[in-house]
Structures are given as structure tokens and as C-alpha cells.
């Protein structure tokens, strides 16, 4: 590894990258060599490996957050849906996405599906792909279907840069993203026992930066961060441990992410950047058909999510397992306002947690709202209630 950089310097760099609404680093990367393409993808998850193998840079588009005023985007959507599609439209109409070659809209909800239609109407990019993910978890059915969907994407990219993707290239890309997930997981493993070594706000910036820069660069940054947090840095504080669930698409404002820890809760796991952590084990790097390996990984060891209907693998038990494994004291259900997938799942989790005696609270947010005094008080009360009645698990609604 190269010389160890100052941790704060790395975090500052990641902060800048994460919220650069002009995607400057991606643009520079593309301009450095002919044939390079930038492919934007919406939350939650997309197998970035295939874009990398095709000479592209996958770039996540999470909306404008609280940094972009919505003026035109509101005209495209009714008031009673979430905020992220408006801010993505605003980014597109204000030409923040002009250097993107194509856009992928994973099948997460109707809102994202409609957004893909609006992008098509506006002829944004050279291709628009609404990508269906399998809801059938048999490799010979859902797995084969998923491979076909990935082949469509590779075909679109080849039409732009002429690059034919070989199994060797794909396996190399898979290897890089395996490494990426391992390093991110290492950070969470350290934070499970020593959450004061790196705040959740810093973790968020560090992981989000990886969605807009080449994976090779992100791996190098992550390695440096991992070296730092091996050391006994920071000062422990009297806080309870919680898991955040439901915030996988539209992202809370960074002030809200910070406020939860300031209010007395160490966040030891979350689904903010779920796409970067979706695959839970290494994907096979020696497969003759790497697309099959990616599909199998998704089918057999992906994280649960509100966009996946996997009735044989109930998500409430999977979340309960995360709570147990992380040694968390409770769960905070945080949903974007009007986010159907997250809000429809919430009662399933909460009914199950009532029976299991897992404490929880829930609230809703919007990416552009930076006033959350009430939420901070709610989180503070949750933390206090856990500390006061440690031996008597109760759910707090």
C-alpha cells in the first residue's frame, strides 16, 4: 500500500466527491481516454461489474439532496410521491448529466419506472434501460432472465464504444468489486465494536464517494481508511447501538444522518448505500460464464430489500439477524416520505419486532428537508429509554 494519508484529508475528499452534482471526477475520467463511457444508474442496486468490464464508469445518481432547489422537476410529478425523481429531473434539465452516455433504471418501484419513461421522452443519453431484476429465485428461471437483462446493457454499451466483453475482463471486474465490498464490510465490522473510531457520517461519505469514481481508486481510499481504523482512535461515548432500515433509495440529508448519532445512537448498520453492499459474499471470479456467476450471487446471497419479493426468505427475520449479529439495541425505521416500498414493509417488520421484543422507532424524511429537531428529540428519547430500561425490551412507536 502507498504511504498512509491523513484520515481527515481522505474524508474531506470523499465528502466533496459524494455531493459533486456535476460529477466532475467521472467527467475527467471519461475525457482522459477515447471510448470511455459513463453509465448512470438509479438506486438501489446494479451490477456495476459489467459496466466496468465494458470500459465504462458506473455512476450512481441519488438526486440533488438538500443541495439542489427544485424548480422544474416539480412539474413532472404529483405532490404525493417521494422527492428523488423531481431532483433527478432537475439535475437532468439543468444539464448536470449531459456527459452521461446511458442511464439504467433498476426495477425498484413505479416512480423509478415512470422516471425512465420521462428520460426516454426527453431523449437523455444514448440509451435508457429499465432493468427488471428477477423476482423468481430459481437459477434456471430468474437467473437466466437476469443474465439476459445484463446482456442488453452490454449490447447498449458496445453500440457506443465497440467493446466486446470477454469472460477474463468480467472476472477481473468482479474481483475488483469483491475487494470493494470486503473493504466496506471490514469498516462495518470494526464499527460494530468500536463505532467511535469513525462516525456514520464519515462512513456514509466514504462509501458514497465510491459510487462516482473508478472502483480502483475507491479501493485504494478504502484500504487507507481500514488502516486508520485498525488503530484505537476516537473516544467512546455513552450511546446505544442501532440499525437504520428503510432509507435505501432517496437519501436523508447528511445533517439527519449526523443528528441520529448526535442524539445518542451509534449506527452500527444501515441500508443507506445498500447498492454498494447488496451482494453478501464474494462472486466467483473463475467462472466460464461470469454473467451466470453474477446472477447466481444475486439469487443466492444478496441482501434483503423492499424491492425484492422473496417470500421464502422473510426479511423481518433477516433484519432481526443483523440486529443480533451487530449487537444492536434497536432499530430506527427511516423512510422517505411517500416511499411505498419502504412504508409498505414497515408494518411487517414492526409486527414481527413487537413479537420478538426488538425495540424500534420510525420516522419519515425528505432529502431536501434539513430541519429535524423533532426527529432528533425522538431519537434522543429512544436512546434514553433503552439506557433506562435496558433489561426490559419494549417497542417504542
Residues at the interface with ligand SF4 (CB under 6 A): 82, 84-85, 108-109, 111-112, 249-250, 336, 339-342
Partners of 56 in the beta sheet?
37
Sign of CA dihedral 273, 279, 280, 281: negative
Nearer to ligand SF4, 340 or 354 (CB): 340
Q: How far is the CB of 42 from ligand SF4 (least distance, A)?
A: 8
Which residue blocks in the chain are alpha helix, DSSP H?
A: 7-18, 24-31, 48-53, 84-93, 110-121, 144-161, 167-193, 200-209, 215-230, 254-262, 274-277, 290-301, 315-326, 340-356, 373-388
Nearer Cβ to ligand SF4, position 62 or 266? 62
Between 36 and 67, whose beta carbon lies closer to ligand SF4? 67
Provide the grid cell at 283.
462472486
8-state DSSP, 127: E
CB of 264 to ligand SF4, least distance (A): 27
Which residue number, 56 or 65, has a Cβ lying nearer to ligand SF4?
A: 65
Closest approach of ligand SF4 to the CB of residue 335, in Å: 8
Nearest residue (CB) to ligand SF4, 73 versus 195: 73
CA dist 350 and 396 (Å) reads 10
Cell representation of residue 119: 428520460
| 44 half-sphere exposure, CB direction, 13 A CA radius | 26
Residue 338: CB minimum distance to ligand SF4, A? 6
In terms of CB distance, is 109 or 128 closer to ligand SF4? 109
Quick one: 54 or 82, whose CB is closer to ligand SF4? 82
Minimum CB separation from ligand SF4 for residue 250, in Å?
A: 4
Q: Which three cell numbers stand for residue 214?
A: 473508478
Sign of the torsion formed by the C-alpha atoms of 194, 200, 201 and 207 = positive
Order of all β-strands in the sheet with 330-336: 265-269, 240-245, 330-336, 359-365
Query: Based on CB atoms, which residue is closest to ligand SF4, 109 or 379?
Result: 109
- Residue pair 203/191 in contact by the 8 Å Cβ criterion: yes
DSSP secondary structure of 320-354: HHHHHHHT-SEEEEEEETT-HHHHHHHHHHHHHHH
CB of 253 to ligand SF4, least distance (A): 14
Q: How far is the CB of 44 from ligand SF4 (least distance, A)?
A: 7
Q: How many CB atoms lie within 10 A of CB 197?
A: 20
Q: C-beta of 306: minimal distance to ligand SF4 in Å? A: 7
Amino acid at each position: 500500500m502507498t504511504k498512509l494519508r491523513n484520515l481527515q484529508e481522505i474524508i474531506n475528499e470523499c465528502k466533496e466527491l459524494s455531493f459533486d452534482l456535476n460529477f466532475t471526477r467521472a467527467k475527467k475520467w471519461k475525457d482522459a481516454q477515447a471510448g470511455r463511457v459513463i453509465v448512470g444508474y438509479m438506486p438501489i442496486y446494479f451490477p456495476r461489474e459489467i459496466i466496468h468490464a465494458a470500459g465504462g464508469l458506473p455512476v450512481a445518481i441519488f438526486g440533488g439532496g438538500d443541495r439542489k432547489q427544485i424548480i422544474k422537476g416539480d412539474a413532472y410529478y404529483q405532490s404525493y410521491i417521494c422527492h428523488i425523481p423531481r431532483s433527478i429531473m432537475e439535475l437532468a434539465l439543468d444539464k448536470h448529466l449531459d456527459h452521461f452516455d446511458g442511464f439504467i433504471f433498476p426495477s425498484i418501484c413505479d416512480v423509478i419506472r415512470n422516471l425512465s419513461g420521462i428520460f426516454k421522452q426527453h431523449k437523455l443519453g444514448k440509451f435508457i434501460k429499465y432493468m427488471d431484476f428477477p423476482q423468481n429465485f430459481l437459477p434456471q428461471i430468474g437467473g437466466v432472465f437476469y443474465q439476459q437483462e445484463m446482456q442488453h446493457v452490454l449490447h447498449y454499451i458496445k453500440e457506443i464504444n465497440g467493446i466486446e466483453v470477454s469472460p477474463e475482463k468480467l472476472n477481473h471486474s468482479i474481483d475488483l468489486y469483491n475487494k470493494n465490498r470486503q473493504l466496506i464490510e471490514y469498516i462495518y465490522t470494526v464499527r460494530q465494536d468500536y463505532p467511535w473510531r469513525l462516525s456514520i457520517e464519515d462512513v456514509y461519505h466514504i462509501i458514497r464517494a465510491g459510487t462516482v469514481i473508478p472502483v480502483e481508486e475507491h479501493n485504494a481510499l478504502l484500504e487507507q481508511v481500514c488502516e486508520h481504523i485498525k488503530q484505537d482512535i476516537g473516544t467512546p461515548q455513552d450511546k446505544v447501538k442501532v440499525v437504520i432500515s428503510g432509507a435505501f433509495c432517496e437519501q436523508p440529508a447528511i445533517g439527519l444522518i449526523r443528528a441520529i448519532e448526535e442524539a445518542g445512537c451509534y449506527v452500527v448498520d444501515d441500508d443507506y448505500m445498500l447498492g454498494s453492499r447488496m451482494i453478501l459474499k464474494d462472486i466467483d471470479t473463475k467462472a466460464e460464464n461470469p454473467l451466470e456467476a453474477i446472477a447466481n450471487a444475486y439469487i443466492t446471497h444478496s441482501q434483503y430489500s423492499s424491492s425484492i419479493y422473496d417470500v421464502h426468505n422473510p426479511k423481518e427475520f433477516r433484519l432481526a439477524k443483523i440486529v443480533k449479529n451487530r449487537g444492536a439495541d434497536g432499530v430506527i425505521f427511516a423512510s422517505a416520505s411517500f416511499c411505498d416500498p419502504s412504508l409498505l414493509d414497515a408494518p411487517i417488520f414492526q409486527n414481527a419486532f413487537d413479537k420478538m421484543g426488538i425495540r424500534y422507532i420510525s420516522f419519515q424524511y425528505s432529502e431536501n428537508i434539513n430541519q429535524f429537531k423533532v426527529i432528533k428529540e425522538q431519537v434522543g428519547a429512544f436512546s434514553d429509554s433503552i439506557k433506562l430500561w435496558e433489561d426490559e425490551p419494549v417497542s417504542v412507536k
